[in-house]
């Protein structure tokens, strides 16, 4: 929000991981390296223009993988539900799939890699994080401060949805 006058307080990290249902992995195998994703059914977002590519990052190393699959949508919950049904691999935020991983409904794939959806040549995103945004003139308001503090405390460090995840 470089051009915004809003105040941002970081509440939690936001990372994406590749995951799939145990049934999908049993039927199709588990990718061992990022390039293996090209041989799997990958559930992708429609807002990714042009070629569908996932960028995976580990220890500063970036791997681009061209992916394809049976579903392309603009709705993360649809991708999650389709992954749970065993139709493919998904690259989704941990806040959305953390409980599924904890319950064994989804399994992380290439867990040491963090993923994002970007165009080739785009700079690495780092950790975009989850933020509370508010107007500068609301900074001193008790109800704003209490809400933001409550959210930060509720999410925890690490946030509750990441406590069950590898790495």
CATH of the domain at 145: 3.40.190.290
2 in a domain, yes or no? no
Q: Residue 142: give the domain boundaries.
A: 11-162
User: Is 1 a domain residue?
Assistant: no
Confidence of residue 49 (pLDDT cuts 50, 70, 90): low
Average pLDDT over residues 131-151: 90
Task: Write down the pLDDT at residue 127.
Answer: 61
Residues 6+ apart with CB under 8 A from 31: 18, 37, 39, 40, 89, 109, 110
- pTM, two decimal places: 0.84
Per-residue confidence band for 99, with pLDDT thresholds at 50, 70 and 90: very high
CB 21 within 8 A of CB 139: no
Residue 4 in domain:
no
pLDDT score of 48 more than 60: no
DSSP assigned state of 103:
T
Rounded to the nearest integer, the mean pLDDT of the chain is 88
């Amino acid at each position: 929000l470089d051009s915004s006058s809003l105040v941002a307080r970081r509440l939690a990290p936001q990372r994406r991981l590749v995951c799939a249902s145990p049934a999908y992995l049993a039927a199709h195998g588990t990718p061992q390296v990022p390039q293996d994703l090209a041989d799997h059914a990958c559930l992708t977002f429609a807002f990714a223009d042009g070629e569908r590519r996932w960028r995976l990052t580990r220890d500063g190393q970036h791997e681009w993988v061209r992916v394809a699959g049976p579903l392309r949508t603009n709705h993360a919950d649809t991708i999650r539900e389709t992954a749970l049904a065993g139709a493919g691999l998904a690259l989704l935020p941990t806040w959305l799939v953390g409980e599924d991983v904890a319950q064994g409904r989804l399994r992380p794939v290439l867990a040491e890699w963090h993923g994002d959806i970007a165009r080739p040549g785009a700079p690495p995103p780092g950790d975009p994080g989850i933020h509370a945004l508010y107007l500068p003139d609301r900074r001193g308001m008790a109800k704003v401060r209490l809400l933001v503090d409550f959210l930060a405390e509720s999410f925890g460090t690490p946030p509750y949805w990441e406590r069950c995840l590898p790495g």
